[in-house]
Amino acid sequence: MPGKQHFHFVGVCGTAMGSVAAAMKRKGFTVTGSDANVYPPMSDFLREEGVEVVEGYRAGNIPASADVIVIGNAISRGNEEAEEALDRRLLYVSLPEVMKEHFLRGKRNLVVAGTHGKTTTSSILAWLLLSAGRDPGWMIGGLPRNLGRGAHFADSEFNVLEGDEYDTAFFDKRSKFLHYLPEVAVINNIEFDHADIYDDLDQIKLSFERLLRVVPRSGIAVINGDDPNCLDVVNGAPCPVTRVGFGQHCEVRIEDVGYSPQGSRFTLAGVRLEIAMPGEFNVRNAAMAATAARHAGLSDDEIREGLASFEGIARRQELRGVAGGVKVIDDFAHHPTAIRQAVEALRQQHPEGRLWVLFEPRSNTTKRKIFQNELAECLAGADVAVIAAIPDPEKVPPEDRLDPAAVAAKVPGGKGRYLPTVESIVETVAAEARSGDVVAVLSNGGFGGIHQRLLERLA
């Protein structure tokens, strides 16, 4: 995009879109944007950064002076501005293409991918580099407490990127991470997900194989050596591969793991490390980040100090409050594997009292009946497992739709309940929860503001 000076972002209020738009403005480009939902905090952030934003999508929003139209992943055919860009044969690109050309080319890009743990692992890795004085840029899908924001672009040799296997744009169905010019590709695990764009696990594995094809010989793939799907994907990979895990075949082994309510301790390749996060999955996340950090040049002492000071991520087993002696915890888990791991970690961190798990089947995959049996099984570790109704059920054909009531009925031990509305869930918890109980809310959305409503009702 040489010589282009005015960038117009369609869908500018998304976290990634807004962060890149502001970074482009700071680079000296003229930046405008539009979105259907213009509200704080992103609207305030963009205004402070000098990015002009209009609300709503209209063909007339595209300035005559715009050289490049950046079309967000959430934009589909039929959007007036997307249609105008097509009709006028304007230069339109995806957000990952802008990132590649203006922030990633020539840099040491560390890309964290996989079905689970991307946000946590990329947050840990960015913090390891930052705490060691390497001043990295980053693009992360959550809010790391140490970093203060999900995206930051620095004049540094390092970038840490959460690499999503989701497609890039309506006109580019390749996975986003294929644009990120990785020197390091971290693959935490591979399972079936994103049922709205992938037909089966083999299609997902193919995307990860393509990622490894663009890792240079001077780079490295850091993979979960205990995950059979990861091992399949790296078979024949053209880049160096390091396997991390508990198995004896792993080049970097995790050993001597210990858990407490305060966190986890483990030995990685002979080095004793600690992190203030519970659960085996967080030990694995930390081990993957530490191995990537070693490749980037950090010493064992720098890694040890960085892990010990990592404070976690918003919406990852985050305590939202205590009312009536009941703890209300927020967690992002929405895939059966992530739910099972979250329940196990909550048990380790809160060994006393009953554990309530309130699950909203909100993702494009969990709305479908693909995990009808697995969801019931992964909730077995709760004392009470509550399944809510599917949001916007009309978006999934009836024959493909999850049956939440059937899931609740299949939870082992008769511990499942189907409570379709937020109101019914809040009233049930308020009536039955007692001091010392833990109520964990699992959703990849807002779940109707249930966290605050629970706290107010319990109080």
Handedness of CA 297, 300, 301, 302 (dihedral sign): positive
| One domain for residues 56 and 167 | no
CATH number of the domain encompassing residue 88 = 3.40.50.720
237 by Cβ neighbours in 10 Å (0-12 / 13-18 / 19+) ranks as middle
383-415 residue pLDDT tens: 999 999 998 888 889 888 999 999 999 999 999
| One domain for residues 218 and 195 | yes
Q: Specify the number of domains making up the chain.
A: 3
Dist. CA 31–CA 28, nearest whole Å? 9
| One domain for residues 380 and 452 | yes
| One domain for residues 338 and 375 | yes
17-54 residue pLDDT tens: 998 999 999 999 999 999 998 887 888 889 999 999 99
212-246 residue pLDDT tens: 999 999 999 999 999 999 999 999 999 999 999 99
Which run of H or of E encompasses 53?
A: strand 52-55
| One domain for residues 122 and 24 | no
Q: What is the pLDDT of residue 1?
A: 61
| One domain for residues 392 and 438 | yes
Query: Rounded to the nearest 5°, which phi and psi values hold at 39?
Result: -155, 160
Structure confidence at residue 199 as a pLDDT band (50, 70, 90): confident
Owning domain of residue 18: 6-96
Cβ atoms 391, 360 nearer than 8 A: yes
pLDDT averaged over the chain?
A: 92
| One domain for residues 452 and 341 | yes
Residue 264 placed within a domain: yes
